[in-house]
A and B are shown apart, each in its own frame.
Chain A
Amino acid sequence: MSEVTYKEAIRRAMEDALAEDDRVFMIGEDIAAAGGAFKATEGLWERFGGERVLDTPISEQAIVGASIGAALKGRRPVAELMFADFAGVCFDQIANQLAKYRYMTGGQVTLPVTIRLANGAGAGFASQHSQTVENWFLNCPGLKIVVPGSVADAYALFRAAVRDEDPVLFFEHKGMYNAKGSLTDDAPPVEIGRAAVIRSGEHVTVVATQLMRQRAERAAQALAAEGVEVELVDPRTVLPIDFETIGASVDRTAHLVVVQESPLAGSWGATVAARVVADRFESLDAPPLLISAPDTPVPYAGGLEEAWLPSEQRIADEIRGLLAG
């Protein structure tokens, strides 16, 4: 077992995936000698060479399209899109081509493509480099979407993504790259589509991913001191989402809170709330509480961005309000 950063866990997962299977290759901008814009691919090109770690021009459509083409012939591409926001440039390749190819062809093709994207706000990168982009793709059946929120999950979900026979969007939170956690050599695999209960509690179910999971965890500690026991659930995959685990928790706590880093409209959190209300209305003692960012783009200035992101304080206060309600 070792203490490593979230970024190192992803780097190791890539290295192990490349070593395990010759069909795996990486493709993206400045991922080879430069080691990636976030330095997550450092050392991979040196070890595996230019046919396994491919630098491309600034051409996101070609990166994803070429990954699809290579996957048609049995390769297992791992495409890096750098800032997740750049998925906008190749939206068609992901949403119309990658997601639907198998379905439209009656199952003739299999597309084990993994796409890595760096998500998230908090560092002053302004509106076009700070979004939580997973929400753009929730409406695209055919894709799987994972959002690892811990070091162990980052490693395990990446390995699962590359082994998966279907396309997986793998969102890394760039605000967590330096967060530390433990990684065991014989960690059990994590199944895509399975939530994890991070903390058990009887009073309220809180569902959160990535940066918001970290903040919700700290809010839960503060609330525990006041006698409020939070059950914290990390869905880890937002397409398909593990409604069973979330629902079972709500059956016990009778309260649902979703915390997310994005605007509410069209988000995975809104989907969770809708499903819980539709499927187990009787389990709820109160309406679900949705803690989200405002329905605005991410602002640049420090004070604005800080206020935009749900804080630990705000999460704790709103949960107090819900339970007092």
Chain B
Amino acid sequence: MRLDTTSSSAVVEGDPTDDELLGMLRRMIEIRGFEDEIQRAFTKNLVRGSTHLCNGQEACAVGACSALRPGDSMVCTYRGHGAVLAMGASLERTFAEILGRETGLCRGKGGSMHLTDVEVGAYGSFAIVGAHLPIATGLALAARLDRTEAVSLCFFGDGSTNIGAVHEALNLAGIWRLPVVFFCENNLYGEYSPLPSTTPVEQLADRAAGYGMPGVRVDGNDVVAVRRVVAEAVARARAGEGPTFVEGLTYRHRGHSRTDPAKYRPAGELERWLEHDPIPRLEALLAERGVAAAAIAQARADAESAVAEGYAAALAASAPAVELIHEDVYA
């Protein structure tokens, strides 16, 4: 296992340019605003079932997805609003899906836990823990068979590493040296259980050794660090050198789902993590690099208005026609 400790204030070759970083900042603010809007909509009963928000984890989604190129694929979990938006799914259609509108990404059939936009390479959000790691491996297998050099990126949580499907997927990708990047978002909790109560190793990246692939741990709240580590893993994958297990250390600001008040957290923990909020950190980095304050403010303003417009348009869309129930069962 390797701990990535390079500081993001020193520019390294392959790093995003200032403009690119401003775009990443905007995306992260959009995701944050999106999640806040969904939380409000949920409390107004406009969202059904459950929601699992990724506030605090935006740097993982945006940093990792920024290392991909068209033709690559990404799969994620029910906590995947951010990852799907980071791939470039439309704010309006993503909102519309969660609001159960016909214009939604999945025509209102999947909702929050199943956001999918194949057109942008977001092949699915999965609600059965661990189920998508074998699928990510299959996307990589297709790339191998098609000789496309495409890479498959797979997000999953710390708690997921304890389910059987994960073991099978990592082993298969390891033995076949498939072009997958397994990105574990370690937010320290699986539902209401702190990681040490369910998992006998402290560093999840250590698990990679058992599958013959490199394991790298990175500060998941530092978007540049995430980007560097994933870009390196993607380069290895494209070069035929096989999969990588990346552990991004991060924290979810909200509870597990819905209205979970997260009382199981020790006092002060959230406050400590808020000091490492990835969004202000990126703003500070941009300022340090000499990017004008006005440009940073503009990124924020653009993000906020895009979220507001997307939400309003989604709300105005109509509910799916009842006949849709019978469509899409078979091709």
Binding site for B on A (CB under 8 A): 29-30, 33-34, 37, 55-62, 85-86, 88-89, 123-129, 294-297, 299-305, 307-308
- How far is A62 from B163 in the complex, measured between Cα atoms in Å? 9
Counting residue pairs across A and B whose Cβ atoms lie within 8 Å, the total is: 123
> Can you report 28 residue pairs joining A to B where beta carbons are below 8 Å apart?
A34-B193, A34-B264, A37-B191, A57-B162, A57-B190, A57-B198, A58-B159, A58-B163, A58-B198, A61-B164, A89-B165, A124-B111, A126-B49, A126-B110, A126-B127, A127-B109, A128-B127, A296-B325, A297-B329, A299-B109, A300-B100, A300-B111, A301-B101, A301-B109, A302-B319, A304-B100, A304-B109, A308-B325
- Among B18-65, those with CB < 8 Å from A are 47-50
- Among B228-281, those with CB < 8 Å from A are 264
A contact residues around B106 at 8 Å (CB): 300
| Nearest-neighbor residue (CB-CB) of A82 within chain B | B191
* Cβ–Cβ contact B198 & A125, under 8 A: no
A contact residues around B190 at 8 Å (CB): 57-58
Q: Does B314 contact A (CB under 8 A)?
A: no
CB distance from B5 to the nearest CB of A (A): 29
**Tally of chain B residues near chain A (CB < 8 A):** 40
A contact residues around B104 at 8 Å (CB): 301
Q: Does B17 contact A (CB under 8 A)?
A: no
- How far is A86 from B130 in the complex, measured between Cα atoms in Å? 11
* Cβ–Cβ contact A307 & B100, under 8 A: no
A contact residues around B130 at 8 Å (CB): 58, 89
Tell me whether A296 and B49 are in contact in the complex, defined as CB-CB below 8 angstroms, given that A128-B127, A129-B113, A301-B109 are known contacts: no
CB distance from B145 to the nearest CB of A (A): 28
CB distance from A259 to the nearest CB of B (A): 18
* Cβ–Cβ contact A296 & B191, under 8 A: no
CB distance from A62 to the nearest CB of B (A): 8
Choice from B192, B264, B325, B329 contacting A304 with Cβ under 8 Å? B325
| Nearest-neighbor residue (CB-CB) of B328 within chain A | A296
A contact residues around B199 at 8 Å (CB): 57
Choice from A37, A295, A301 contacting B100 with Cβ under 8 Å? A301
B contact residues around A302 at 8 Å (CB): 48, 100, 319
A contact residues around B111 at 8 Å (CB): 124, 126, 300-301
A contact residues around B319 at 8 Å (CB): 301-303
- Chain B binding surface SS class: loop
Question: With contacts A301-B104, A303-B320 known, what are 8 further pairs, Cβ within 8 A?
Answer: A30-B191, A34-B193, A57-B162, A124-B47, A125-B50, A296-B325, A300-B114, A302-B100
CB distance from A167 to the nearest CB of B (A): 21
| Nearest-neighbor residue (CB-CB) of B46 within chain A | A302
Q: Does B197 contact A (CB under 8 A)?
A: yes
- Among B118-160, those with CB < 8 Å from A are 127-131, 159-160
* Cβ–Cβ contact A30 & B193, under 8 A: yes
* Cβ–Cβ contact A89 & B325, under 8 A: no
Q: Does B108 contact A (CB under 8 A)?
A: yes
Which of B101, B108, B111 counts the most chain A CB atoms within 10 A? B111
| Nearest-neighbor residue (CB-CB) of B131 within chain A | A89
| Nearest-neighbor residue (CB-CB) of A294 within chain B | B325
